[in-house]
A and B are shown apart, each in its own frame.
Chain A
Amino acid sequence: MPGGRSLLLAGVVVALAAITGAALLHEARSRSVVQPAAQAITTRAEKPQPPALTADEERYATALWAVHRDATRFAVAMSFAGITYQTEDRDARALARKIEPLAKFFHDAEMQVRVMSTPPSLSRTQGQYVDAMALFANAAAEMLKFTEDGDSQRLGDAHRMDVRASEDMLRVGEVLWPGQYKPH
């Protein structure tokens, strides 16, 4: 009987769809429950040993980390821009192209960190980080001026600022994120 068979087929399709839907819903629910816990474990295992900070200080450390992760990479990139210029191409335009985004980043980072809500106990730490970003920004500006006037004294000045900035960044790191650097 075609009408009955169609009805049976439709019933089977609906039942299958219902089972599939229920399975998907179950999976989605399990994932939403399990995922944060798994993430938390991974984060705990991978993050450098957290210092004994208060909840407010922890929040500040996490917020600053967002800047710090790029600041570290860009600080190394700035040295490499100089190394490449000296040892490879002596191409002032290429150097400027590499430094311009770094100059902007460090300028913006200085502003961002300066207005960050900071627990009073970390005001000195914040000041050091602001100084570091400002020094990197000034160093980048000096390197850009060098690409315009060729005065190599500027590269030496920029390098000295970079070193001081890196030391400041490490000082902050010792307070907020000890254990960043492991035996290599």
Chain B
Amino acid sequence: MTTGAREHYLGQFAAHRAQLPGASLPGLQRGRDAAIERFAELGLPTTRHEDWKYTNVSALERRLFATFTDVAPDGAAEREVARHALDGMHRLVFVDGRHVPGLSRIASLPPGARVGSLAQLVATQSDIAEVLLAVESEPDANGFAALNTAFWSDGAYIDLAPGVVVDEPIHLLFLATRADLASFPRNVVRAATGSAATVVEQYAGVDDAVYLTNAVTRITAGEGARIAHTKLQQESGRSFHVADIRAAQAADSRLVSQSFAFGGQLARNDIATRFDAEGCDAKLVGLYVGSGRQHHDHHTCIDHARPRGTSRELYKGVLDDASRAVFNGRVIVRPDAQRTDAQQSNRNLLLSDSAEVDTKPQLEIWADDVKCAHGATVGQLDADQLHYLRARGLDAATARGLLIHAFAADVLRDITHPGLHARLATLLPGQLPEDMGKLRCELLPTS
């Protein structure tokens, strides 16, 4: 019998435990030890778990990845950084899970804003690092999160003192350059009262390498804080990507979460936020684009634990060939959370008979004075619209491409940073099934 994921990663942990960040810090090591024990208990999720019913990760029982590399990044990483860099942003680059200072660029930050490598922070200011690592660190919900807690090698920390506003977005770029490697990025955002920042978390891989990214991001937004988090997933076409993003919001805070899922053969995103006090606001937007045999899964959860919270959610999917997507949108309105206003929408465009989507709104409403609405659609391109465009002289392929693009580009509306908006607008046509290379995005309405 071959070794499964459990035995493999337990062995990896035993072999590399001493090389992980904070090995000399008993508190941190206890956390890692507890996590690997939890992983030993949980193992990887199977389709018998309700939350993983439509996403089968059994391939990861057979395909086992190394968890450690000491090979320094080569020129390929530098070229990738040049390709993905965004002007006018702070940038932290991580290659195969490790921070590369030479490729990063943190311009002057306002006083009270601290941004950097979590591993480095552990090495230099372990007390602060331990506090940050405790952010939203309730027991890991599944084997992937537990693996991350046990193995995390590096990641970004963003620590904002009260009232600090970082105008330039902070671009976290995670590059995978090696096949057969698992990387475990861990990011922490702590935004104190009245602070604000925009974080772009991007994953990109080279060629068709098979690797695993298992990422965790924890966000805590203090009273009145405003955090915009844009996730951009462009992993290699054969990679596995599992990510868990969780936020907790204090009174009157605002979270904007955007998730663009383009790459990977199997990609799973858990995105959750919890309103811990009154008057919170969350906007969750997503776009997944699948072709070939790609599998995209988004599980979102908005926990209205306290009154007067507002949430808006829009997820869209474009699926071609035999690709498959899962959207599970959970909204909890606790008994206390009166005057909650929640809206959710999931719209899917299927471009092939073999494409498939499982969409499930999951509303759990325990309060009575609430406004909650949800809707899900799965459809094909509109024949009337196609005909109208063709009747004006556009060939069928252009008409299709234009309609697909219009459907997808809708989710770019809320991207306020001009540089990021321009990058996504440029990137989008190339991600879509029809060749939209000549499409003039600037002519599409943006409001």
Note whether A and B form a binding pair. no
Interface residues of B (CB under 8 A from A): none
Interface residues of A (CB under 8 A from B): none
